[in-house]
Structure 1
Amino acid sequence: MDIQGLAAIVTGGASGLGGATAARLAKAGAKVTILDLNPQMGEAHAKAIGGHFIRLDVTDEAAVEAALDEAERVNGKARILVNCAGIGTPAKVIGRDGKAIPLGDFTKTVTVNLMGSFNMLSKFAARLQDAETVGPEERGVIVNTASVAAYDGQIGQAAYAASKGGIVGMTLPIAREFARYGLRVMTIAPGIFWTPLLGTLSQEVQDSLGRQVPFPNRLGQPDEYAALVEHIVVNPMLNGEVIRLDGAIRMAPK
């Protein structure tokens, strides 16, 4: 699809991978709505890129419907959805105290990362199933964010790896289902990327993490993720696949 003039929605779009994606899509001519829990950063970034901001918890069904309504009133029917909202608090299954992780901690990560992504994409797709096509054949594109942890999760990443593995696992069946509607579904599994959270670490620690990547021997940059999103949108043959964006890294156990 030609991005110019299309309405796009980016969850977690206030900063990091989502922030870079929102900026790149806006630069390509999209009318971008940022959905994020952080109103200060979200409003500032939306203003900077000429977009629109809505505060949203992606796990709230009614709030998602309301946000999609508002985004459509402002920018028209969205044809691009990029799911970047997520959390990743590390925790071992059995803690130092010898006790099992509280189920609620595991559930929260899976709920935000997996169920939140599904909540967004299902409601987004329902609005496009009978919309006019964009160009000769497609109605929209959905890009989800997994992680290399879905394949080689480290100790302490059980909940995070499970949530991202779920995103990987649902990519193909949903793409197959949505084919009849002319909707594509793709997933990106990033490796170690610079994020605002990593930015709080010392440069020495950041460099140490980057040296784990075979090549390029550094942390990934958010705009490199955004560049892949842009290519996915414009390349109609990319569908039902998960792309590792990781510099050939395979994570060690810890």
Structure 2
Amino acid sequence: MKLQGSTAVVTGGASGLGAATTAALVDGGARVFAVDLPAALDKVARVDGAEYLAADVTDADQVHAAVATAAGSGVPLRIAVACAGIAPGARILGKQGVHDLALFAKVVDVNLVGTFHLLALAAEQIAATEPDADGQRGVIVSTASVAAYEGQVGQAAYAASKGGVVSLTLPAARDLAQHGIRVNTVAPGIVDTPMMGQIDEEFRERLAAGVPFPHRLARPEEYAKLVLAIIDHDYLNGETVRMDGALRMAPR
């Protein structure tokens, strides 16, 4: 799948993985629509050449409107990348009592349901485009986490939501194969995103030391580079790719 002559939509496009992916897609020649919450868009350092749309991924109507705008750009919608996500921590039974049930539902709503909103609504628009010579119409990339496999203490909600994204990948690829749409997922390890800016340097160094190689945190640009490789590789489908420096998370 070629970037030039394609439109892409990226959720969570205002910061972190989404911002890096937006920049990489623009650099590759795609027309890019970055989608995020209004408050996030107010603070974003905008990428030249990208267009920004306000939407909450948990609201299907808002996602539909954003995807329809991208699809109506005059350049075929071929690419969708789901980067929007949250990662609050809480134990199932903690000092304050049982895990906040509304918080659990919110994490699943943003990370899993929000991902499905983009996947399904983008697929609807991509399926209406003309295929290339190989019958391919587009690529959808979701974002999971190594927590889907090795969730740590306090990550019940996050791990469950990201595990759902991993489990969604293969059936989605099978469902959409008849439309010429590939579906893949990236499962990052510890990435140096704005969320990591809240931790102190000593803890950051300990996290980096726990990565077998390279002994550092991943960079958002490396996630974006992998997304572009997945888009380019036409035979990669139904797969979740770990990007973690061989890290396997300990219980805590």
Counterpart-to-counterpart distance in 2, 1:25 and 1:164: 24
Counterpart-to-counterpart distance in 1, 2:87 and 2:199: 16
- TM-score (ref. length: structure 2): 0.96
Cα contact 1:31–1:75 (8 A) shared by 2: no
The aligned length equals 250
1:197 is matched with 195
Cα contact 1:134–1:140 (8 A) shared by 2: no
- TM-score (ref. length: structure 1): 0.95
Partner of 1:179, secondary structure, is helix
Counterpart-to-counterpart distance in 1, 2:102 and 2:118: 22
Moved more, 153-162 or 192-201: 192-201
**1:49 deviation in Å?**
2.9
Deviations 1:171-215 (A, max 9, x none): 001101111100000000000110012123333222221111000
2:80 is matched with 81
**1:62 deviation in Å?**
1.0
Cα contact 2:55–2:66 (8 A) shared by 1: yes
Partner of 1:21, secondary structure, is helix
Counterpart-to-counterpart distance in 2, 1:208 and 1:54: 37
After TM superposition, what 4+ stretches of structure 1 lie above 4 angstroms from structure 2?
A: none
1:30 is matched with 30
**1:117 deviation in Å?**
0.3
Q: Name stretches of at least 5 consecutive residues in structure 1 with no aligned partner.
A: none
Cα contact 1:189–1:242 (8 A) shared by 2: yes
**1:101 deviation in Å?**
1.2
Q: Superposition pairs for residues 1-254 of structure 1, below 5 Å?
A: 1-37=1-37, 38-42=40-44, 44-45=45-46, 48-74=47-73, 76-97=75-96, 99-254=97-252
**1:41 deviation in Å?**
3.3
Give the RMSD, CA atoms, in angstroms: 1.2
Cα contact 1:187–1:242 (8 A) shared by 2: yes
Deviations 1:8-62 (A, max 9, x none): 11110111111111101110001110001112234x32xx331100011001111
